[in-house]
Structure 1
Amino acid sequence: MKCAIVDLGSNTIRLSLYNTLENGGFETLFSKKYMAGLAGYVSHGIMSNDGINQACAVLLDFKILLQQLSVKDMHVFATASLRNIKNTEKALETIKRRTGLSVDVIEGSEEGILGYYGALYTTDLKNGMMFDIGGGSTEFVRVKNGKVKNSQSVSIGSLNLFHSNVSGLWPEKKEQKAITKQINKKLNTVDFPKKSPEKVCCVGGTCRAILNIVNYHFNKQENNRIITREEFDKILKILTKHDITSRNYILKLCPDRVHTIIPGMMVVKEIMDRLNCKELWVSRYGVREGYLCKNFLMTGSTQEVTK
């Protein structure tokens, strides 16, 4: 059975088409994304009509594409893009009226758990911590003995940090300090473990982009999924120089994140500092696959968060 899922995010809107297998697994048939940048259409907590129209246009494009492939159903969920705005209901009503699609707005804690489900498909994470940096929020999940102990979400992401602090394309030194201050203000509300976790895993496009740069710079195998702290610090230092090398790396390896990769890396840095993280595992899968597993494959756990 083919299953189409759309993640209506703050930075990207991504369609993934999966083929579900009889053994409870899945295979990805294709993925298509638009860098819609919906967080940039939000002012004083209100998403503008232009932002809502942008979301509708992308969803209609996806709908037409799937019709051409004879895929009837498209399941859409939204994260911080619609969760953290004041006019959520208006946006949902407009999308429904113009596209015929109902959007499932998931809570921040649920988003974190879905990201964990997705990560489990390729990553062994029985004890440790997972985080997911999006365009408009970051989720944290603590895991012990294969059970979710805690799931939290904070309203900082690579795109909203850019819009609230950066005047040009890349943050200058003064702007980097402002970003760091904003990050730490939010991270102070997160229940980090007192001891360094056994394993730290990250999901999402920001971390995958960082891994891509690390693998290129250090000439690693394409299937490498690990970033050491030393490697991370080296890449962050290179990218924040704003020289020819940094520009070439960004434009060649993550052109669709040209303005968000540095703010995103700054979030990762502060998280790694707080976790005393020496090694970061980057998952191939995340919240979309978690949504698929939980809602359509029944392989995602339906456990409650344990206290």
Structure 2
Amino acid sequence: MARLGVIDLGSNSVRLVVYEPKPADETKPFRTLIDEKKMAGLAAYVSNGVFTEAGIKRAESALGDLLRLADNLGCSRTDIFATAVLRNCANSDAAASAIEEAIDHPLSVLPARDEAHLGFVGASVGNSLTAGTLVDIGGGSTELTALGPDGDHAGASIPFGCVLAYANYVRTVLPTPAECRIMGDAFRREVEALPNKDGYRSGRLHGIGGSVRAVAKMLAAVSADGVRPSVIARGDLEGLFDLLQGDAPTFAHRAVKAAPERIHSLVPGMVILRTLMEELQAAEVVPCKYGIREGYLITHML
């Protein structure tokens, strides 16, 4: 059976997922075979709004390795898309063209609205998302999508993600309480500036992407039973901040076990999520298993 590869060039990681299509009448029209990730930290290669030559070389290296892996795994087709790290830089077109030429493979830079819609399509696999707001906290941006009975509606892209927040506001590895407050205030200003903020208010948020999953993993790491929660309540999130402030060494050791590749971006992601819950008056966040890569697969490749 054919194998299809999707490579997501993100602000923090570059990820290849290999899928095998399944019959169209099944609830989930694919089977995930391989999930390979390279932590590239590309957001750190944006200087004065420009994606640097060093960043381009790093992206080329990661993509080249993953394309070879996809070929070795027998993928009949492999698509690459990029999100905020290339979309929001001043030299987006030139950087994307340079990467395409170096790897000899097409690269699509997703518009923010398309990224939000693909996230909704992926999150809907196995779920009925009829109300609420979909949240995707990425490395370089945070996407909001308003949901209704007839699908996804308005979308907003906030140029504030967990990796950029770490780079801009954190001096060491774990943020101090003061740095958390500064990050939260800065992100709050971005949310308050949204022209249609009220359209995203909801008691329930649906979360996709690695940042929300990392928070769920961290909650499992500090819980007595070690079980990852299906719902993240505001009190659960506040408990993590209490642990960070009251016993930072224990928090750090648990974080290394829960999400070692996100040790630097975990707390900034927590800050963004907490601020969103406050500003959008949400009582809970439901982590979704699938997201933008699966949305891309369904809409562009199946």
Q: Is the 8 A contact 1:127 1:198 kept in 2?
A: no
Distance 2:201 2:108 in 1: 35
Corresponding residue for 1:266? 271
Q: CA deviation at 1:195?
A: 8.7
> Quick one: which amino acid aligns to residue 56 of structure 1?
E
**Match in the other structure for 1:204:** 209
Asked if residue 7 in structure 1 is aligned to residue 8 in structure 2, the reply is yes
Cα pair distance change 1:84/1:196, threshold 3 Å: closer
What per-residue deviation string (whole Å, max 9, x for no partner) do you get for residues 252-300 of structure 1?
1111011111111000001001222222100011111111111123xxx
SS in 1 for 2:193: coil
2:288 matched residue in structure 1: 283
3-state secondary structure, aligned to 1:277:
coil
User: How big is each residue's C-alpha offset from its partner over 1:53-99, in whole Å with a ceiling of 9 and x where there is no partner?
Assistant: 00000111011112222224210000001001011122112112111
Indicate conservation of the 8 Å contact 1:118/1:285, yes or no.
Answer: yes
Q: Is the 8 A contact 1:122 1:285 kept in 2?
A: no
Structure 1 residues 169 and 188: alpha-carbon distance in aligned structure 2, compared to 1, 3 A threshold: same
The one-letter amino acid of 2:93's match is: E
The one-letter code sitting in structure 1 at the alignment partner of 2:62 is V
- Answering whether residue 267 of structure 2 is matched by residue 232 of structure 1, we say no
Aligned pair 1:249/2:254, yes or no? Answer: yes
Aligned residues: 297
Match of 1:294 in 2: 299
- Counterpart CA distance in 2 for 1:75 and 1:262 is 32
- Report the equivalent of 1:179: 183
Q: Percent identity?
A: 29
Following superposition, the deviation at residue 223 of structure 1 comes to 6.3
1:53 to 43, 57, 77: 57
Match of 1:79 among 80, 83, 86: 83
TM-score where L is the length of structure 1: 0.92
Match of 1:159 among 163, 173, 177: 163
CA, structure 1 residues 157+196, in 2 after alignment: closer, same or farther (shift >3 Å)?
closer
AA aligned to 1:155 is P
Q: Which residue of 1 aligns with 2:111?
A: 107
CA distance in 1, matches of 2:212, 2:136: 8
> Please, which runs of 5 or more residues in structure 2 have no aligned partner?
none
The aligned residue for residue 121 of structure 1 is 125
1:221 Cα deviation after fit: 7.0
CA distance in 1, matches of 2:20, 2:138: 25
CA distance in 1, matches of 2:200, 2:162: 27
Alignment correspondent of 2:73: 69
Give the deviation of 1:220 after TM superposition: 5.1
Cα offset for 1:122? 2.9
Structure 1: stretches of 5+ with no match in the other structure = 298-307
Q: Secondary structure at the match of 1:193?
A: helix
Matches of 1:182 and 1:172 in 2, distance apart?
15
